Amino acid sequence: MKSPVQLNIGFVPALQALPLAAHAREHPEWRMRPCASHGRIIRYLLTGRLDAGLLPWELCVAELLSKPAQQGVWLIPLIIFACPTELALTPAALHLVYPSRNGQRGARKRLTIGLEGRLSLTRHQVLAWLAKVAPNHLDPPAFRILPIDLMQKALRAEFIDGFVAPTPWGLQAALAVGTKADPAFEPGKFAQQVVLVCTREVAATMAEAFRRLPAQLASVRRSLAAEPAFRDAASAMIGLGHPHCDPDQLWQVSHCLHSPSTDHAEMTPDHAWFEKQFRLLAERIPAAAHLHLDSVKAALLALPS
């Protein structure tokens, strides 16, 4: 089959999307379309405005693959190198989590955290972090579902005390709003997998291109270790449209693209990968039980590889 003239790929501008965005510059059939949130990417996939999208694995399952009319429609041909998420907290919230030894604790005992999705792994990452750093003096947090580009506005309006988002959005909020990142917030077992999802028709049409893509992206990512190449790619990604990451802030966190502690390299997923990830999803997100994961898995694994 011939490749389509354009393959429109939705993505949230962040460090982990940079290798694919850089790759797309050399391949005119790959058109990267920045979106303000993963929820918007999903809506655009469902309405046909996008052909493919970069999504956290659990949101892809919960908000796309599990929809009854969508089972058997989609394929995941690629897992990309996932960078860590960041927790940005207001100074007041940070003091609430870590009260001074001699200071008095106020009556307030609950944080409100902004997330992108109700079933996001970052929700459980926040709960694990609080159980570790504030096990006794804070109540369970409240969560607000917001797109990434509204997180900073929500902080300024005191609608939330902090948010979790892909790097470098936490750093960007620190400079724009005065938040602080908590180094104790680590992915642990709740580290996200990031997938490229598309319809099975697109996957069949682009089968050879998708087959080559993991090695190509790994090569691009290694080339981004050089600052001139990185800044050139970052500027080009930012030029694609809103929302924007600052190139200097992207460079500050560029080591995350090469961190040995991040083991989610680019790959073509096989049945064993899907079996493992569905099992982990059921274990780590109890609320996922209503998604009928067995039927979602069966529909996904029934698609031709």
Q: What is the 3-state secondary structure (H, E, C) of 134-186?
A: CCCCCCCCEEEECCHHHHHHHHHCCCCCEEEEECCHHHHHHHHHCCEECCCCC
Length of the chain equals 305
- In the predicted model, is pLDDT for residue 234 greater than 80? yes
pLDDT on residue 57: 93
Task: Assess contact for 10 and 44: CB atoms under 8 A.
Answer: yes
For residue 281, name the pLDDT band (cuts at 50, 70, 90): confident
Tokens read off for 127 = 């709960």
As a whole number of angstroms, the distance between CA 147 and CA 103 comes to 35
Half-sphere exposure of 110 (CA within 13 A, CB side): 7
As a whole number of angstroms, the distance between CA 278 and CA 298 comes to 11
Highest mean pLDDT among 112-121, 253-262, 266-275: 266-275
For residue 104, name the pLDDT band (cuts at 50, 70, 90): low
Query: Average pLDDT, stretch 260-288?
Result: 80
Give the domains, in start order, of the chain with CATH numbers. 7-83+191-301 (3.40.190.10), 85-190 (3.40.190.10)
For residue 304, name the pLDDT band (cuts at 50, 70, 90): low
- In the predicted model, is pLDDT for residue 22 greater than 70? yes
- In the predicted model, is pLDDT for residue 211 greater than 80? yes
User: Parallel, antiparallel, or unpaired for β 7-11 and 52-56?
Assistant: parallel
- In the predicted model, is pLDDT for residue 106 greater than 70? no
Query: Average pLDDT, stretch 174-185?
Result: 80
Q: What percent of the chain has pLDDT over 70?
A: 91
Task: Assess contact for 71 and 65: CB atoms under 8 A.
Answer: yes
Question: Worst-scoring range by mean pLDDT, 146-160, 167-181, 272-286?
Answer: 167-181
Question: Worst-scoring range by mean pLDDT, 160-174, 175-189, 223-237?
Answer: 175-189
Best CA proximity match to 129, nearest among 164, 102, 100? 164
pLDDT on residue 8: 95
pLDDT on residue 231: 95
Best CA proximity match to 153, nearest among 163, 142, 143? 163
Tokens read off for 243 = 């929302």
Kindly report, residue by residue over 114-126, the tens digit of the pLDDT.
988 777 888 888 9
pLDDT on residue 210: 93
- In the predicted model, is pLDDT for residue 1 greater than 50? no
For residue 36, name the pLDDT band (cuts at 50, 70, 90): confident
pLDDT on residue 2: 44
CB-based contacts of 103-109 (< 8 A; 24+ apart in sequence) = 105/137, 109/137, 109/138, 109/139
pLDDT on residue 160: 94
Q: Which residues of 193-217 are buried (b: 16+ CB within 10 A; e: fewer)?
A: bbbbbbbeebbebbeeebeebbebb
Q: Is 287 exposed, middle or buried (0-12, 13-18, 19+ CB in 10 A)?
A: exposed
Task: Assess contact for 165 and 86: CB atoms under 8 A.
Answer: yes
As a whole number of angstroms, the distance between CA 13 and CA 249 comes to 13
DSSP assigned state of 98? S
Task: Assess contact for 7 and 202: CB atoms under 8 A.
Answer: yes
Strand, coil or helix: 24: helix
Across the chain, what does the average pLDDT equal? 86
